[in-house]
Structure 1
Amino acid sequence: MIEYTVVIPTVGRPGLPALLHAVADGGDHAAREIVVVDDRRRGDDLAMPELKVPTRLLRGDGRGPAAARNLGWRHATTPWVVFLDDDVDIGPDWHQRLFEDLAGQPAEVGAVTGRIRVPLPERRRPTDAERGTAALESARWITADIAYRVSVLEAVGGFDERFRRAFREDADLALRVSRAGYRVEEGRRLTFHPLKPERVFASVTAQAGNHANALMRAKHGRRWRQRIGEGSGMLGRYVLTTGLGLTALVAARRAPRLAVAAGIGWAGLTARFAAARIRSGPRDPAEVARMVVSSVLIPPAAVGARLAGELRYRRPRRPAAILFDRDDTLIVDVPYLSDPTAVTPVAGARDLLDRLRAAGIKVGVVSNQSGVAKGLISRDQLAAVEAAVRDALGPFDTWQVCPHDDGDGCDCRKPAPGMVRRAAADLGVDPADCVVIGDTGADVAAAGAAGARGILVPTGRTRPEEVEWAAEFAHVASDLRHAVSIALDGGA
């Protein structure tokens, strides 16, 4: 029997009760539990209908769908979790198809997507907004309906909560899941996504997604669009259009000929852009007016959002804190170390830590210690080893330990981001102002999931694929001294 939890982040859309009833009415293939995450910033608690399956309402904090989904799946007690948007309609045989999609999947399949259908008008061409919604039908890994193994979400740390909008967070997760060695398959179940209401400036405000594109580039390299199956995008044309427009404005007084030439170029590109959008639509006066106005505003909005994202995610910054893995990073690794007399610092570690302290940079430890869960290390022994490390290496501003084992469902065991986030909160700094240094891919992945920078210092036990991944998407250092240099300088 396939057991799954349905997680629905919501901002209180009116179709939520109908969706909940449809999800709960699954007969023998119904979910074990439905988890609704109310992600509104304020307001009274949502009124939840009486349903045939247990339903839990969690309160988010308005940090966006990625954070809301993380909150939901971390409360799941089933092997699978199915994410649904709060405005979709599931097909009449959705539960049976879901069961067939998940049944018998091999362990290397980490997720199974649903098929999305968007009903378009039959008697006219779709508007620009309707075409945008219809693009969801061909989108890969869309979280409007996708099932993930909880163990896989734990392994990669879940969604990256820096994606504050419902954009790119699904592709980022799927890329990380694929890099971790799992496959994302397409299922047969059918889910219907409604058209979004027409808003005059919806296509302009949507350009805020270019901020997320900058984060995708920072995390997945320059070829990230090819990795998710997209073309090159429109940014280059937007940059040219915006540049010509700015040139025309700046040169208007001192170089009128240049201003005229730039203005003609800007007008030509803008007219071509607007004409292409108008040609594909219904061409009624209201739609034409929307296309003309928005075609003027879209290029600078897109360029501004992308520039802000590049500055946010690509600019090297001196870190406020450096967080270190313990074993094989600060001290020589002894499996399930319980004897404080066996603590041996890595060569040069004390000197490097003292230099950081003198420079006013906070230092901390984030360490997986599954020996506690396995019964191989007692809490007292763990504390004694910690004290020995402090005696050898000096004081630390924060010390975070995960005592859990794989499968315990915690949010702290790396590559989950919990310890990194708690360390940052303990220090009173933003995770983005932290650097995590460790010897495994889990250390680097935990950093990325928390929004920090990660640096890998490989040892003889670091897997080659971890080094290869870190070399492309993070930093790889030759030793601890080199890692600290990268952290301070922002590059290799």
Structure 2
Amino acid sequence: MSGEHLDYAVVIPTTGRPSLGALLRALDTDSGPAPREVVVVDDRPEPGPPLDLPETALPCAVVRSGGRGPAAARNEGWRRVDAEWVVFLDDDVVPGPLWRKSLVGDLDVPPDVAGCQGTITVPLPGSRRPTDWERGTAGLADAWWITADMAYRREVLERCGGFDERFRRAFREDADLALRVQATGHRLVTGSRATEHPVRAAGFFASVRAQAGNADNAIMRRKHGTRWRRRIGEGPGRTRRHLATTVAGLTAALAACGRGRRWRTTAKAAAAVWLALTAEFATRRIAPGPRAPGELARMLVTSVLIPPAACWHRLRGEWRTARAGQRKPAAVLFDRDDTLVHDVPYNGDPAQVRPKRGVRAALDRLRVDGVPIGVVSNQSGVARGLLTEDDLAAVNAEVRRQLGPFDTWQCCVHGEDDGCDCRKPAPGLVERAAADLGVPPGECVVIGDTGADVAAATAAGARAVLVPTDRTRPEEITDALLTAEVAPTVEDAVARMLGRTT
């Protein structure tokens, strides 16, 4: 890949930190090929004064994402660009002086490579040992697939639906995407471009607040199984030790309220266990550090608070994921006209394709959760001579361009009197889609706007959800209420499939 042909965009989510200016200036001074566009995503919850951006020669655009977190901000950014590659940078990193030049070689990779991570360096003080917080930040240098500097092929982001927006913090959303990308059969590699990640200032209780990420660990376990840590290059963590420490502390506190020798004995034993576990944790954190008075005080206090905080957030995360933990469908199949796009009778003109509101977001939810999606559509206009198969292919291609890729696409081009087994309400389209995806029809969901969609799903043994439109007959809605399900929108239907609310 030559520098002139490197087609990439840069996406930077930000909450307006001053470090953003240093990043943009560093990116601007490089002499390598410039990005097609730099999208700065303003993720501040409330509209404020415009971001203070330095003057550069970079083609820079600013968009807002409404304070929904870095995962949503990155999605907002990459969906606005058309470049072959999207490079995500955090707003507190500084690209090296040869970053753009090195990117050319980094992205000159085989087609099976979907992503390339930059080489992260964390500057640490040379005059003393690093603090616990500084060592934690230094761990980013060895972390896998972090979006401090991570490039992805845009087509793979589209295939996977981008980042899972349930991750509201800057934590685990990058690892989740990496695992989903690798599940599609693609590889991820590390490049040679250098990016510096300075250590941010941290308050006294920063390490305690960071325990909120344990709620996101619950999502990772639910989505990727119990060995997800190993798959992203991490050790086993301290969840079990934190749980043992918390249980010992609670037991000691409760037993101390009881009367009698047995309660006192229990309280003393539990307190001894709590003290031993807490001392081990504190010692592990203090030993490598500078051992200055302020750092010692921070380590002692936070070592007491971290175990119960970690357990609380993990339980909170497990509760939330359990409430949303109904079994996902093996695949979701959609009718096309008046379900995915506004109906234009016998449409053969791609210019008339208009997606229905909220459909793209619903499809991306399914892609993020790894649920295969497909289209099952009657297109008798071909048999009637009102459009050609080339016209149909062009319209379907435009639907894919606007709504993203589908895993299977099944159309019936026959007329009502042709006696085929595929035209809905016959089950053929549903059965063919399931066979193409390699899943049982009975584990699929069909979402459509007519009684024929419901009947086809029922005949194939699939679950049916009717999303009524103006052309849906009242009796079709009544029948669906008795034999299937009815949802007001495609978004609501998909949320129901995934056990969530819209």
Same fold, TM-score > 0.5, yes or no: yes
The CA distance in 2 between the partners of 1:205 and 1:457, in whole Å, is 51
- 2: CA distance, partners of 1:161 / 1:265: 40
The answer to whether 1:68 aligns with 2:43 is no
| Counterpart position of 1:117 | 121
What SS class does the counterpart of residue 226 from structure 1 fall into?
Answer: helix
AA partner of residue 437 (structure 2): T
Q: Distance in 2 between matches of 1:317 and 1:108?
A: 32
Judged with a 3 Å threshold, the aligned counterparts in structure 2 of structure 1 residues 17 and 311 are, in CA distance, closer, same or farther, namely: same
CA contact (8 A) 1:168 1:213 kept: yes
Deviation track 1:441-481 (CA, whole Å, cap 9, x = no partner) reads xxxxxxxxxxxxxxx9983221479x9xxxxxxxxxx9536
- Cα distance between partner residues in 1 of 2:135 and 2:72: 28
Alpha-carbon displacement from aligned partner over 1:70-109 (angstroms, at most 9, x marks no partner): 0000011210111001111111111110111112x11111
Q: CA deviation at 1:28?
A: 4.8
Aligned counterpart in structure 2 of residue 207 of structure 1, from 204, 211, 221: 211
- The residue correspondences of 1:148-187 to structure 2 (distance < 5 A) are 148-187=152-191
2:463 matches 1:459:
no
Q: Is the 8 A contact 2:335 2:377 kept in 1?
A: no
CA distance in 2, matches of 1:110, 1:412: 17
Provide the TM-score with structure 1 as the length reference.
Answer: 0.70
CA pair 64-481 structure 1, distance change in 2 beyond 3 A? closer
CA shift in 2, pair 1:184/1:377, >3 Å: farther
The 5 Å alignment of 1:193-272 reads 193-254=197-258, 255-272=263-280
Q: CA deviation at 1:15?
A: 1.9
Residue of structure 1 aligned with 2:309, choices 301, 312, 320: 301
Fraction of identical pairs, as percent: 50
Kindly provide the CA deviation profile for residues 90-146 of structure 1, in whole angstroms up to 9, marking residues without a partner as x: 11111110111112x111110000000000111211100000100000000010001
* 1:308 partner amino acid: R
Q: In structure 2, do the counterparts of structure 1 residues 482 and 239 end up closer, same or farther at CA, with 3 Å as the change threshold? A: farther
The DSSP-based 3-state class of the residue aligned with 2:169 is coil
Q: Which is higher, the Rg of structure 1 or of structure 2?
A: 2
AA aligned to 1:480 is A
Deviation at 1:182, TM superposition (A): 0.8
Q: TM-score, normalised by structure 2?
A: 0.69
| One-letter amino acid matched to 2:58 | V
- Residue 27 of structure 1 aligns to a residue in which SS? coil
Contact 1:157 1:414 in 2 (8 A): no
AA of the residue aligned to 2:434: T
2:360 aligns with none
Within 2, Cα distance between the matches of 1:256 and 1:402?
74
Match of 1:22 in 2: 26
Change (3 A) 1:318 1:177: closer
Gaps of 5+ in 2: 337-344, 347-371, 388-394, 408-427, 443-459, 466-483, 486-495
- In the alignment, the residues of structure 2 paired with residue 60 and residue 460 of structure 1 have an alpha-carbon distance, to the nearest angstrom, of 39
2:33 and 2:100 in contact (8 A); partners too: yes
SS in 2 for 1:185: strand
Letter in 2 for 1:264: A
Distance 2:128 2:243 in 1: 33
Quote the residue 2:103 is aligned against. Answer: 98
Q: What is aligned with 1:453?
A: none
Amino acid at match of 2:321: Y
Corresponding residue of 1:436? none
Letter of the 2:76 counterpart: L
1:174 positional shift:
0.3
Q: Is the 8 A contact 1:370 1:403 kept in 2?
A: no
Q: What's the secondary structure of 1:249's corresponding residue?
A: helix
Alpha carbons 1:24, 1:31 under 8 Å: kept: no
